[in-house]
């Protein structure tokens, strides 16, 4: 009887050890998966930065040069009203293309996040959109770049899809271990699609929830762990 009990205890101990090894292995695999997903986000951001630089140093600079050339040509065409009008129209078209390229570059990788911080970038995006918006971020706050970009991209999505008399507000708060943000759209229900951004947030170890608000509004709540 005693020997049987010992065998059962030994067998149970082996089962416990095997379970612990399995749990340790799963924890390691989960940690490696999270690290891998985070690296993918950082690699994608690096690609975005290269594309933004290419746009700024290539396409935008050429458009600027073309606009200057057209302006110069227009000043030389005073004797030909038709030619001058055509050149002025071409100059306006080039300026519109330049503005569109600048907006695209900002969406791909916003340099203002590095130059002026998250608060400045969020406010600048709101002004550019023409949507009534409020931004609540502690002045002078600095956050890990990948987290700041994530908040910024979520804000852009909300602004892009808001319309009519919609008002949009964002608040960003830093806790002890996480960066929390909330975007509230209080007009007609927006068509914002946060599916891709949910993947980005989750890849950084956070979570993003989207809930309808009374009066057909939308509330987006996000939390991103601080790794620093």
* Helix ranges (DSSP H) in 116-169: 118-129, 145-161
> Closest Cα partner for 226 from 197, 205, 202?
205
Give span(s): CATH 3.30.565.10, the chain.
117-225
Write out pLDDT tens, residues 24-40.
Answer: 777 776 667 676 777 77
What is the predicted pLDDT for the residue at 218?
Answer: 83
Give residue for tokens 């695999």. 29
Spatial distance between the Cα atoms of 197 and 20, rounded to a whole number of angstroms: 35
Q: What is the mean pLDDT of the chain?
A: 80
> How buried is 53 (Cβ within 10 angstroms: 0-12 exposed, 13-18 middle, 19+ buried)?
middle
Most confident by average pLDDT, 36-50, 63-77, 118-132: 118-132
What is the predicted pLDDT for the residue at 183?
Answer: 92
| Token pair of 181 as six digits | 């943000």
What is the predicted pLDDT for the residue at 150?
Answer: 93
- Give mean pLDDT, residues 93-122: 81
- Give mean pLDDT, residues 107-122: 83
Write out pLDDT tens, residues 173-212.
Answer: 988 789 999 999 876 545 556 777 888 898 889 999 988 7
Least confident among 30-34, 142-146, 168-172 = 30-34
162 pLDDT tier (thresholds 50, 70, 90): confident
Most confident by average pLDDT, 11-25, 121-135, 181-195, 208-222: 121-135
What is the predicted pLDDT for the residue at 192?
Answer: 58
What is the predicted pLDDT for the residue at 18?
Answer: 73
What is the predicted pLDDT for the residue at 208?
Answer: 92
Spatial distance between the Cα atoms of 225 and 178, rounded to a whole number of angstroms: 4
114 pLDDT tier (thresholds 50, 70, 90): confident
Write out pLDDT tens, residues 40-57.
Answer: 777 777 777 787 777 777
Residue 42 dihedral angles phi and psi, to the nearest 5° = -65, -40
Statement: 117-225 belongs to CATH 3.30.565.10: yes
């Amino acid at each position: 009887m005693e020997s049987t009990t010992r065998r059962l205890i030994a067998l149970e101990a082996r089962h416990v050890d095997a379970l612990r090894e399995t749990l340790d292995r799963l924890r390691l695999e989960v940690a490696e998966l999270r690290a891998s997903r985070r690296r993918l986000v950082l690699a994608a951001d690096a690609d975005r930065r290269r594309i933004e630089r290419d746009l700024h140093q290539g396409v935008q600079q050429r458009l600027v040069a073309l606009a200057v050339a057209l302006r110069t040509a227009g000043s030389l065409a005073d004797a030909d009203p038709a030619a001058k009008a055509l050149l002025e129209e071409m100059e306006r078209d080039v300026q519109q293309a330049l503005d569109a390229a600048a907006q695209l570059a900002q969406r791909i990788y916003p340099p203002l996040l590095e130059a002026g911080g998250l608060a400045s970038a969020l406010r600048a995006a709101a002004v550019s959109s023409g949507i009534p918006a409020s931004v609540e971020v502690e002045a002078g706050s600095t956050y890990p770049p990948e987290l700041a970009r994530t908040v910024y991209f979520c804000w852009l999505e909300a602004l892009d899809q808001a319309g009519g008399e919609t008002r949009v507000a964002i608040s960003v708060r830093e806790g002890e271990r996480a960066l929390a943000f909330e975007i509230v759209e209080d007009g007609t229900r927006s068509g914002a699609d946060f599916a891709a951004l949910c993947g980005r947030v989750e890849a950084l170890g956070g979570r993003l929830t989207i809930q309808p608000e009374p009066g057909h509004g939308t509330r987006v709540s996000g939390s991103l762990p601080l790794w620093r």
